[in-house]
Amino acid sequence: MSAPTPAGTALKITPLGDAIGAEIEGVDLARLDDAAFAQIERAWADHLVLRFRRQQLSDLDLMRFSRRFGALDRVPIRASDVMDHTDPRLAIDPEAREYVTIISNVKVDGMAIGGLGNYEAHWHTDMSYNDTPPSASLLYGIDVPPAGGDTSFCNMYLAYETLDEASRERVRGLTCVHDASRNSSGELRRGFADNDDPTHTVGARHPLVRVHPVTERPCLFLGRRRNAYVPELPLDESERLLDHLWAHATQQRFNWTQQWRQHDLVIWDNRCAMHRRDGFDDRHDRVMHRTQIRGTAPMRYV
Ligand code: SIN
Protein backbone atom coordinates (compact mmCIF):
# COMPACT_ATOMS: atom_id res chain seq x y z
CA MET A 1 0.00 0.00 0.00
CA SER A 2 1.30 3.49 -0.83
CA ALA A 3 1.74 6.02 1.96
CA PRO A 4 -1.14 8.55 2.17
CA THR A 5 -0.55 11.56 -0.04
CA PRO A 6 -0.06 14.77 1.96
CA ALA A 7 -2.68 17.32 0.89
CA GLY A 8 -1.52 19.51 -2.00
CA THR A 9 1.22 17.15 -3.22
CA ALA A 10 1.58 16.89 -7.01
CA LEU A 11 1.13 13.27 -8.07
CA LYS A 12 3.73 11.61 -10.27
CA ILE A 13 2.12 10.96 -13.67
CA THR A 14 4.13 8.98 -16.23
CA PRO A 15 2.81 8.16 -19.72
CA LEU A 16 2.93 4.43 -20.42
CA GLY A 17 2.65 4.44 -24.19
CA ASP A 18 2.71 6.92 -27.06
CA ALA A 19 -1.01 6.64 -27.73
CA ILE A 20 -2.80 5.88 -24.46
CA GLY A 21 -2.23 5.15 -20.77
CA ALA A 22 -0.37 6.66 -17.81
CA GLU A 23 0.79 5.47 -14.42
CA ILE A 24 0.05 7.46 -11.29
CA GLU A 25 2.31 6.95 -8.30
CA GLY A 26 2.31 8.13 -4.71
CA VAL A 27 -1.37 7.78 -3.99
CA ASP A 28 -3.46 5.50 -1.79
CA LEU A 29 -6.86 5.22 -3.48
CA ALA A 30 -8.50 4.09 -0.24
CA ARG A 31 -7.56 7.43 1.39
CA LEU A 32 -7.81 10.06 -1.28
CA ASP A 33 -8.40 13.77 -0.83
CA ASP A 34 -10.23 16.03 -3.28
CA ALA A 35 -7.06 17.76 -4.51
CA ALA A 36 -5.46 14.43 -5.45
CA PHE A 37 -8.68 13.32 -7.13
CA ALA A 38 -8.76 16.51 -9.23
CA GLN A 39 -5.27 15.64 -10.55
CA ILE A 40 -6.40 12.09 -11.30
CA GLU A 41 -9.42 13.36 -13.20
CA ARG A 42 -7.28 15.69 -15.32
CA ALA A 43 -4.76 12.93 -16.06
CA TRP A 44 -7.61 10.59 -17.00
CA ALA A 45 -8.95 13.06 -19.59
CA ASP A 46 -5.45 13.37 -21.08
CA HIS A 47 -4.43 9.68 -21.04
CA LEU A 48 -7.79 7.76 -21.17
CA VAL A 49 -6.38 4.85 -19.11
CA LEU A 50 -4.66 5.14 -15.72
CA ARG A 51 -2.79 2.52 -13.73
CA PHE A 52 -2.19 2.59 -9.97
CA ARG A 53 0.07 -0.10 -8.51
CA ARG A 54 0.19 -1.59 -4.97
CA GLN A 55 -3.37 -0.65 -3.93
CA GLN A 56 -5.10 -2.48 -1.06
CA LEU A 57 -8.80 -2.17 -1.83
CA SER A 58 -11.78 -3.98 -0.37
CA ASP A 59 -14.89 -4.10 -2.56
CA LEU A 60 -16.26 -1.20 -0.57
CA ASP A 61 -13.04 0.82 -1.10
CA LEU A 62 -13.24 0.06 -4.81
CA MET A 63 -16.86 1.22 -4.89
CA ARG A 64 -16.05 4.35 -2.86
CA PHE A 65 -13.20 5.37 -5.19
CA SER A 66 -15.30 4.51 -8.26
CA ARG A 67 -18.19 6.70 -7.07
CA ARG A 68 -15.94 9.75 -7.30
CA PHE A 69 -16.37 9.37 -11.10
CA GLY A 70 -20.18 9.09 -10.93
CA ALA A 71 -22.99 6.74 -9.93
CA LEU A 72 -22.24 3.03 -10.28
CA ASP A 73 -23.81 0.97 -13.04
CA ARG A 74 -25.23 -2.46 -12.24
CA VAL A 75 -23.34 -5.63 -13.16
CA PRO A 76 -23.99 -6.95 -16.71
CA ILE A 77 -26.11 -10.03 -17.41
CA ARG A 78 -23.98 -13.11 -16.83
CA ALA A 79 -23.38 -16.10 -19.10
CA SER A 80 -25.48 -19.16 -18.30
CA ASP A 81 -22.69 -21.20 -16.67
CA VAL A 82 -21.53 -18.47 -14.27
CA MET A 83 -22.56 -18.45 -10.61
CA ASP A 84 -25.27 -15.99 -9.73
CA HIS A 85 -24.08 -12.85 -7.95
CA THR A 86 -26.33 -13.60 -4.98
CA ASP A 87 -24.79 -17.06 -4.46
CA PRO A 88 -23.38 -17.13 -0.89
CA ARG A 89 -20.38 -19.21 -2.10
CA LEU A 90 -19.09 -16.10 -3.83
CA ALA A 91 -16.59 -14.30 -1.64
CA ILE A 92 -18.06 -10.90 -2.33
CA ASP A 93 -19.26 -8.26 0.05
CA PRO A 94 -23.11 -8.37 0.13
CA GLU A 95 -23.26 -4.63 -0.52
CA ALA A 96 -21.12 -5.10 -3.63
CA ARG A 97 -23.30 -7.76 -5.24
CA GLU A 98 -25.19 -5.33 -7.42
CA TYR A 99 -22.21 -3.31 -8.56
CA VAL A 100 -19.02 -5.38 -8.59
CA THR A 101 -18.55 -7.60 -11.64
CA ILE A 102 -16.32 -10.61 -11.08
CA ILE A 103 -14.05 -11.59 -13.95
CA SER A 104 -12.38 -14.89 -13.23
CA ASN A 105 -11.55 -18.42 -14.36
CA VAL A 106 -11.90 -19.82 -10.79
CA LYS A 107 -14.59 -22.46 -10.25
CA VAL A 108 -16.33 -23.49 -7.02
CA ASP A 109 -18.16 -26.84 -7.09
CA GLY A 110 -17.69 -26.87 -10.87
CA MET A 111 -19.35 -23.47 -11.31
CA ALA A 112 -17.41 -20.39 -12.51
CA ILE A 113 -17.40 -17.57 -9.94
CA GLY A 114 -17.01 -14.91 -12.65
CA GLY A 115 -17.18 -14.17 -16.36
CA LEU A 116 -14.79 -14.64 -19.31
CA GLY A 117 -13.01 -17.76 -17.95
CA ASN A 118 -9.42 -17.98 -19.19
CA TYR A 119 -10.38 -17.14 -22.79
CA GLU A 120 -9.26 -14.35 -24.99
CA ALA A 121 -11.69 -11.42 -24.81
CA HIS A 122 -12.01 -9.64 -28.16
CA TRP A 123 -11.80 -5.87 -28.60
CA HIS A 124 -14.88 -4.19 -27.15
CA THR A 125 -16.41 -1.33 -25.21
CA ASP A 126 -17.99 -2.52 -21.97
CA MET A 127 -21.77 -2.93 -22.22
CA SER A 128 -21.96 -0.99 -25.49
CA TYR A 129 -25.14 -2.95 -26.27
CA ASN A 130 -26.97 -0.80 -23.69
CA ASP A 131 -28.57 2.54 -24.62
CA THR A 132 -26.41 4.23 -21.99
CA PRO A 133 -23.11 2.31 -21.80
CA PRO A 134 -20.89 2.96 -18.77
CA SER A 135 -18.61 6.00 -18.98
CA ALA A 136 -15.80 4.19 -17.20
CA SER A 137 -14.69 0.82 -15.90
CA LEU A 138 -12.31 0.21 -13.01
CA LEU A 139 -10.57 -3.17 -12.83
CA TYR A 140 -8.73 -4.37 -9.73
CA GLY A 141 -6.33 -7.34 -9.83
CA ILE A 142 -6.86 -9.56 -6.79
CA ASP A 143 -5.13 -12.70 -8.16
CA VAL A 144 -3.23 -12.57 -11.43
CA PRO A 145 -1.48 -15.36 -13.36
CA PRO A 146 2.33 -15.25 -13.76
CA ALA A 147 1.92 -14.82 -17.54
CA GLY A 148 -0.93 -14.06 -19.94
CA GLY A 149 -4.23 -12.32 -19.26
CA ASP A 150 -2.74 -8.97 -20.37
CA THR A 151 -5.28 -6.25 -21.19
CA SER A 152 -4.73 -3.93 -24.16
CA PHE A 153 -6.38 -0.58 -24.76
CA CYS A 154 -6.76 1.47 -27.92
CA ASN A 155 -7.34 5.19 -28.35
CA MET A 156 -10.52 5.81 -30.34
CA TYR A 157 -9.91 9.57 -30.69
CA LEU A 158 -6.76 8.76 -32.65
CA ALA A 159 -8.59 6.06 -34.57
CA TYR A 160 -11.06 8.67 -35.81
CA GLU A 161 -8.58 11.49 -36.41
CA THR A 162 -6.26 9.31 -38.51
CA LEU A 163 -8.96 7.92 -40.82
CA ASP A 164 -8.73 9.12 -44.41
CA GLU A 165 -10.94 12.16 -45.03
CA ALA A 166 -13.53 10.32 -47.14
CA SER A 167 -14.07 7.67 -44.43
CA ARG A 168 -14.25 10.34 -41.71
CA GLU A 169 -17.00 12.13 -43.63
CA ARG A 170 -18.85 8.91 -44.47
CA VAL A 171 -19.04 7.50 -40.94
CA ARG A 172 -20.17 10.74 -39.30
CA GLY A 173 -23.76 10.27 -40.42
CA LEU A 174 -23.99 6.52 -39.78
CA THR A 175 -25.05 4.39 -36.82
CA CYS A 176 -24.27 0.87 -35.68
CA VAL A 177 -26.25 -1.81 -33.81
CA HIS A 178 -24.24 -3.43 -30.97
CA ASP A 179 -24.89 -7.09 -30.21
CA ALA A 180 -26.13 -7.82 -26.65
CA SER A 181 -26.36 -11.59 -26.99
CA ARG A 182 -22.75 -12.61 -26.32
CA ASN A 183 -19.98 -11.39 -24.05
CA SER A 184 -16.52 -10.43 -25.31
CA SER A 185 -15.32 -14.05 -25.11
CA GLY A 186 -18.24 -15.11 -27.29
CA GLU A 187 -20.31 -16.77 -24.52
CA LEU A 188 -24.10 -16.55 -24.92
CA ARG A 189 -25.72 -14.49 -22.16
CA ARG A 190 -28.69 -15.76 -20.17
CA GLY A 191 -32.02 -15.09 -21.85
CA PHE A 192 -30.62 -14.48 -25.39
CA ALA A 193 -31.21 -16.55 -28.50
CA ASP A 194 -28.26 -17.53 -30.69
CA ASN A 195 -28.07 -15.40 -33.84
CA ASP A 196 -25.54 -15.14 -36.65
CA ASP A 197 -27.37 -12.67 -38.86
CA PRO A 198 -26.24 -9.06 -38.20
CA THR A 199 -29.48 -7.70 -39.67
CA HIS A 200 -31.29 -9.37 -36.74
CA THR A 201 -28.90 -8.20 -34.03
CA VAL A 202 -30.52 -7.37 -30.70
CA GLY A 203 -28.87 -4.45 -28.89
CA ALA A 204 -28.56 -0.67 -28.77
CA ARG A 205 -28.10 1.47 -31.89
CA HIS A 206 -25.44 4.16 -31.50
CA PRO A 207 -23.69 6.75 -33.73
CA LEU A 208 -20.46 5.45 -35.31
CA VAL A 209 -18.78 8.70 -34.31
CA ARG A 210 -19.56 10.09 -30.89
CA VAL A 211 -18.52 13.24 -29.08
CA HIS A 212 -16.98 12.83 -25.67
CA PRO A 213 -19.19 14.81 -23.25
CA VAL A 214 -16.22 16.13 -21.22
CA THR A 215 -13.41 16.69 -23.74
CA GLU A 216 -15.86 17.42 -26.61
CA ARG A 217 -13.55 15.54 -28.98
CA PRO A 218 -15.01 13.14 -31.60
CA CYS A 219 -14.04 9.47 -31.50
CA LEU A 220 -14.96 6.29 -33.33
CA PHE A 221 -17.49 4.17 -31.45
CA LEU A 222 -17.34 0.56 -32.65
CA GLY A 223 -18.24 -1.36 -29.48
CA ARG A 224 -17.93 -4.98 -30.62
CA ARG A 225 -17.40 -6.56 -34.03
CA ARG A 226 -19.49 -9.74 -33.81
CA ASN A 227 -22.95 -9.20 -35.32
CA ALA A 228 -22.37 -5.44 -35.61
CA TYR A 229 -24.53 -3.87 -38.29
CA VAL A 230 -24.79 -0.44 -39.91
CA PRO A 231 -28.54 -0.32 -40.61
CA GLU A 232 -28.27 2.50 -43.20
CA LEU A 233 -26.35 0.10 -45.51
CA PRO A 234 -26.96 -3.25 -47.21
CA LEU A 235 -25.32 -6.06 -45.21
CA ASP A 236 -22.33 -6.61 -47.54
CA GLU A 237 -21.49 -2.87 -47.50
CA SER A 238 -21.91 -2.72 -43.76
CA GLU A 239 -19.49 -5.66 -43.38
CA ARG A 240 -16.90 -4.05 -45.68
CA LEU A 241 -17.07 -0.72 -43.88
CA LEU A 242 -16.87 -2.28 -40.42
CA ASP A 243 -13.93 -4.51 -41.43
CA HIS A 244 -12.11 -1.40 -42.66
CA LEU A 245 -12.84 0.59 -39.47
CA TRP A 246 -11.89 -2.28 -37.16
CA ALA A 247 -8.62 -2.97 -38.97
CA HIS A 248 -7.77 0.73 -38.74
CA ALA A 249 -8.79 1.28 -35.09
CA THR A 250 -7.02 -1.74 -33.62
CA GLN A 251 -3.57 -1.01 -35.09
CA GLN A 252 -0.67 -1.39 -32.68
CA ARG A 253 0.21 2.31 -32.94
CA PHE A 254 -3.01 3.25 -31.10
CA ASN A 255 -2.50 0.64 -28.34
CA TRP A 256 -0.92 0.10 -24.99
CA THR A 257 -0.91 -3.21 -23.07
CA GLN A 258 -1.24 -3.63 -19.31
CA GLN A 259 0.70 -6.57 -17.83
CA TRP A 260 -1.03 -7.21 -14.55
CA ARG A 261 0.52 -7.38 -11.11
CA GLN A 262 -1.48 -8.26 -8.04
CA HIS A 263 -3.15 -5.14 -6.57
CA ASP A 264 -3.00 -3.07 -9.75
CA LEU A 265 -6.04 -0.85 -10.27
CA VAL A 266 -6.69 0.29 -13.84
CA ILE A 267 -9.41 2.73 -14.87
CA TRP A 268 -10.34 3.31 -18.51
CA ASP A 269 -12.59 5.77 -20.24
CA ASN A 270 -15.14 3.49 -21.84
CA ARG A 271 -16.35 6.32 -24.13
CA CYS A 272 -13.10 6.79 -26.04
CA ALA A 273 -11.05 3.62 -25.42
CA MET A 274 -11.70 0.00 -26.38
CA HIS A 275 -10.00 -2.96 -24.73
CA ARG A 276 -9.24 -6.64 -25.23
CA ARG A 277 -7.66 -9.35 -23.11
CA ASP A 278 -5.26 -12.20 -23.87
CA GLY A 279 -6.17 -15.72 -22.82
CA PHE A 280 -4.06 -17.45 -20.16
CA ASP A 281 -3.23 -20.87 -18.71
CA ASP A 282 -6.25 -22.18 -16.83
CA ARG A 283 -4.03 -23.82 -14.21
CA HIS A 284 -3.46 -20.35 -12.76
CA ASP A 285 -6.14 -18.34 -10.98
CA ARG A 286 -7.10 -14.90 -12.19
CA VAL A 287 -9.60 -12.97 -10.05
CA MET A 288 -10.47 -9.40 -10.98
CA HIS A 289 -13.19 -7.17 -9.55
CA ARG A 290 -14.64 -4.50 -11.80
CA THR A 291 -16.96 -1.55 -11.26
CA GLN A 292 -18.69 0.42 -14.00
CA ILE A 293 -19.69 4.09 -13.87
CA ARG A 294 -23.10 4.92 -15.25
CA GLY A 295 -22.85 6.78 -18.57
CA THR A 296 -25.12 8.87 -20.76
CA ALA A 297 -26.45 8.15 -24.25
CA PRO A 298 -23.60 8.58 -26.79
CA MET A 299 -23.88 11.93 -28.62
CA ARG A 300 -23.63 11.98 -32.40
CA TYR A 301 -20.82 14.11 -33.92
CA VAL A 302 -22.33 16.72 -36.24
C1 SIN B 1 -13.06 -6.71 -19.43
O2 SIN B 1 -13.28 -6.89 -20.63
O3 SIN B 1 -13.61 -5.81 -18.81
C4 SIN B 1 -12.07 -7.60 -18.74
C5 SIN B 1 -10.68 -7.28 -19.02
C6 SIN B 1 -9.75 -8.20 -18.30
O7 SIN B 1 -10.16 -9.24 -17.78
O8 SIN B 1 -8.56 -7.88 -18.26
- The answer to the question of residue 7 being in a domain is no
* Residue 184 and residue 69 share a domain: no
Q: Which atom of ligand 1 is nearest to the CA of 288?
A: 7
Tens of pLDDT, residues 236-251: 999 999 999 999 999 9
- The answer to the question of residue 168 being in a domain is yes
Range of the domain at 208: 157-249
- The answer to the question of residue 197 being in a domain is yes
Could you say which of 232, 249, 266 is where a domain stops? 249
Distance separating alpha carbons of residues 91 and 42, to the nearest angstrom = 34
* Residue 200 and residue 125 share a domain: no
Distance separating alpha carbons of residues 13 and 35, to the nearest angstrom = 15
* Residue 146 and residue 31 share a domain: yes
Averaged pLDDT of the chain: 93
* Residue 121 and residue 196 share a domain: no
pLDDT band (50, 70, 90) for residue 8: low
* Residue 266 and residue 141 share a domain: yes
pLDDT band (50, 70, 90) for residue 187: confident
Amino acid 7: pLDDT: 56
* Residue 279 and residue 245 share a domain: no
- The answer to the question of residue 130 being in a domain is yes
* Residue 138 and residue 274 share a domain: yes
* Residue 165 and residue 151 share a domain: no
Residue 202, judged by CB atoms within 10 A of its CB (0-12, 13-18, 19+), counts as middle
- The answer to the question of residue 25 being in a domain is yes
Tens of pLDDT, residues 76-113: 877 777 888 888 788 788 889 999 999 999 999 999 99
- The answer to the question of residue 1 being in a domain is no
**How far away, in angstroms, is 10 Cα from ligand 1 center?**
30
Q: What is the pTM of this model?
A: 0.94
Q: Which atom of ligand 1 is nearest to the CA of 150?
A: 8
pLDDT band (50, 70, 90) for residue 168: very high
Residue 76, domain CATH: 3.60.130.10
Residue nearest to atom 8 of ligand 1 (CA): 151
* Per-residue pLDDT at 3 exceeds 60: no
**How far away, in angstroms, is 228 Cα from ligand 1 center?**
20
* Residue 144 and residue 26 share a domain: yes
- The answer to the question of residue 224 being in a domain is yes
> How many domains in the chain?
2
Residue 300 half-sphere exposure toward CB, CA atoms < 13 A: 10
**How far away, in angstroms, is 276 Cα from ligand 1 center?**
7
What is the mean pLDDT of the segment spanning 126-146? Answer: 97
Whether 250 is in the pocket of ligand 1, judged by its Cβ within 6 Å, is: no
Out of 137, 138, 139, mutate this one to test ligand 1's pocket (max ligand atoms within 8 Å of CB): namely 139
* Residue 145 and residue 194 share a domain: no
For residue 201, how many other CB atoms are within 10 A of its CB? 22
- The answer to the question of residue 46 being in a domain is yes
Tens of pLDDT, residues 212-227: 999 999 999 999 999 9
Distance separating alpha carbons of residues 276 and 223, to the nearest angstrom = 11
* Residue 166 and residue 146 share a domain: no
- 237 three-class SS: helix
pLDDT band (50, 70, 90) for residue 2: very low
* Residue 142 and residue 240 share a domain: no
Whether 183 is in the pocket of ligand 1, judged by its Cβ within 6 Å, is: no
